[in-house]
Structure 1
């Protein structure tokens, strides 16, 4: 899944117009291949940017086919970042902060303020998450373009890695706990299953 934070566009009313805006933004970055992707987005209210996601339609079709072969029905597919943010929303008490999500191969930092989403940064995550994640966060904070530093960062590693965070001087880190149902699984299985359990 690919993500973008897309600025508000005055004068758009219909879902088709917003779809065209989102698709155009992704095509500007990824080229003609993005024309075949499926898009979802959530807004921050009038005037606020859209947090948009895109997935290759063929990948989604393959997932549905695999589910059917197993005698299952693919009821819904949610972008991991959006599902995780929704899952933890009740624990987020600060007006200006960020949500840090580590998944296999990459980490994302989604910043927000009182008006909604304000910035979005991704970078590759190689090797052991517990080691790589604390080093990745300062780099990602330096890459923020649209917003000041968050006051608090809510951090979640889907594989349950015991990350030892150095406490920065300018913000507070709030690690989010893995669902207890996953505690007995291996790290690889925890990473895979946490995506499903957070999509409630």
Structure 2
């Protein structure tokens, strides 16, 4: 690795704000966050403007940057296995057709990523707006930084907590402010992924989990383990019967900021 890129920063782009932390041998240092108010059409633009201001203020010189994206910016799908798909290009076209069928054709371009799975297994697909990614790359390049990863927060959280699930069947819910995303795994394979707007309350979370459990038959002879991670509620963790809450460690600085907590999911 080039010595000129020794410093590493983690940016969290949320639905209404952007946060930034620095990672080094001593650990993670929270640098702060900035909020913004936008309608749906201008959210990504204002988010990246805000990120640019934070990076300009806090990053001096060349550095690496990892970006965590709220599920508000992402689309998710479960792509079934098909014996007729034989090349990566065919798989990408197959996944693109799935998103068109699910969300409708869009004039906006999306970039697709698929989870690596063994033959015969369904894959989780994530779609991110190409306009957001392109502008992000431009911002990072203009500041002389190296963009090392862009990942939906739900996947970062899963990677952080996956040891908690073991080899068991599980339903994992990441409850961000205003939107929850769930991952369901059964018999060692992905079974469902969904992301939907819900209120930030135990009652809303419990109702959603109950609906998904009924929809996927999770209350039968082989019930799954239920987990929820709510980064914005680290001082008021969800208390739902039968559901285990997974929390990230906080530190002494600015622990009331959910973007700060989210940044700590990066190992």
TM (normalized to structure 2)? 0.62
Task: Tell me what 1:162 maps to.
Answer: 236
Task: Tell me what 2:193 maps to.
Answer: 120
Higher strand share: 2
Using the TM superposition, give the Cα deviation of residue 108 of structure 1 relative to its aligned residue in structure 2, in angstroms.
Answer: 1.4
Give the one of 163, 185, 188 matched to 2:254: 185
Task: Tell me what 1:24 maps to.
Answer: 97
Task: Tell me what 1:142 maps to.
Answer: 211
Structure 2: unaligned runs, 5 residues or longer:
1-73
- Report the Cα distance in structure 2 between the residues aligned to 1:152 and 1:120, rounded to whole angstroms: 16
- Report the Cα distance in structure 2 between the residues aligned to 1:158 and 1:194, rounded to whole angstroms: 6
Structure 1: unaligned runs, 5 residues or longer:
none
Give the one of 77, 83, 87 matched to 1:14: 87
- Report the Cα distance in structure 2 between the residues aligned to 1:66 and 1:194, rounded to whole angstroms: 24
Matched length: 189
Q: Residue 99 in 1 paired to residue 172 in 2? A: yes
TM (normalized to structure 1)? 0.81
RMSD, matched Cα? 2.4
Task: Tell me what 1:38 maps to.
Answer: 111
Is the partner of 1:9 in helix, strand or coil?
A: coil
Q: Radius of gyration: which is bigger?
A: 2
Using the TM superposition, give the Cα deviation of residue 125 of structure 1 relative to its aligned residue in structure 2, in angstroms.
Answer: 2.9
Using the TM superposition, give the Cα deviation of residue 196 of structure 1 relative to its aligned residue in structure 2, in angstroms.
Answer: 3.7
Using the TM superposition, give the Cα deviation of residue 146 of structure 1 relative to its aligned residue in structure 2, in angstroms.
Answer: 4.2
